[in-house]
Amino acid sequence: MKAMILAAGFGKRLGALTKERPKPLLEIKGKPLIDYHLEKLVSAGFESVVVNVHYLGNDIINHVKNQFSDKINLVFSHEEEILGTGGGILKGTSNFGAEDFLVLNSDIFSDFDYKEFLKKKSNTLFAVEARAGASGDFAVKEGLVDLEDEKDFIWTGFSVVNRSIFKNITETKFHYWHDCLKKIAQTKKLHAEILDINWYDVGNPETLTELNK
């Protein structure tokens, strides 16, 4: 299986931390976030990974090449102007053909074993239960993403899909969730895999500080 890491964002919620360093290179326990993903992909046996870049993209490219060029086939999809999560995946996976592939957000930190992704087929989202007091993204009913009931599950930023999700898309800039996955969910065809893992969205300074204690 191939994979794509979304790494083109600005990381604005992290404020000064991403002024001179892209979010995927922020460190947890002395190691850049993106390294955790790439190490797990290599260990799981993924054959190739695409990383899309925009903000401080050369920093990401140089780091990843230096650390992983001899461990996995690397492809970089540089966006001259940011294309949104959906547009970035569409561009980055242009040579993937019809096979299923893994998409993951670079700003996620978890203890999940990436070998488990190889057992899943499209179209599948991976979710965790929303923590007490936190709002979720959707409900899960009979193994499917449900947008109508109480939203008590959070999307982890992991998904297994294939390029058929783009068959009705005509734009080059669009959102992965709102313009693709949400529409599939509305047809009751988006599967949800509920995970019991330690999972963090490293989108703010507080979470980064907590993980580095």
What is the per-residue pLDDT across 184-204, written as a single tens digit (0 to 9) for each?
999 999 999 999 999 999 999
| CA dist., res. 50 & res. 173, Å (int) | 18
- Do 68 and 40 touch, CB atoms closer than 8 A? no
- pLDDT of res. 134: 82
Q: Which band of pLDDT confidence, cut at 50, 70 and 90, is reported for residue 212? A: very high
For residue 129, the SS3 value is: strand
Q: Which band of pLDDT confidence, cut at 50, 70 and 90, is reported for residue 131? A: confident
What is the per-residue pLDDT across 41-53, written as a single tens digit (0 to 9) for each?
999 999 999 999 9
How far does CA 19 lie from the centroid of its chain?
22
- Do 104 and 6 touch, CB atoms closer than 8 A? yes
Residue 99 has pLDDT above 90, yes or no: yes
Q: What is the percent of the chain with per-residue pLDDT over 90, rounded to a whole number?
A: 97
> What is the token pair recorded at 147?
């947008």
| CA dist., res. 5 & res. 50, Å (int) | 6
Distance, first Cα to last Cα, the chain:
35
- Do 130 and 31 touch, CB atoms closer than 8 A? no
- pLDDT of res. 77: 98
Residue 135 has pLDDT above 90, yes or no: no
C-beta neighbour count of 51 within 10 angstroms: 26
Tell me which of 3.40.190.10, 3.40.190.290, 1.25.40.10, 3.90.550.10 is the CATH number of domain 2-211: 3.90.550.10
Q: Which band of pLDDT confidence, cut at 50, 70 and 90, is reported for residue 69? A: very high
What is the per-residue pLDDT across 76-89, written as a single tens digit (0 to 9) for each?
999 999 999 999 99
Beta bridge partners of 181: none
What is the per-residue pLDDT across 19-43, written as a single tens digit (0 to 9) for each?
999 999 999 999 999 999 999 999 9
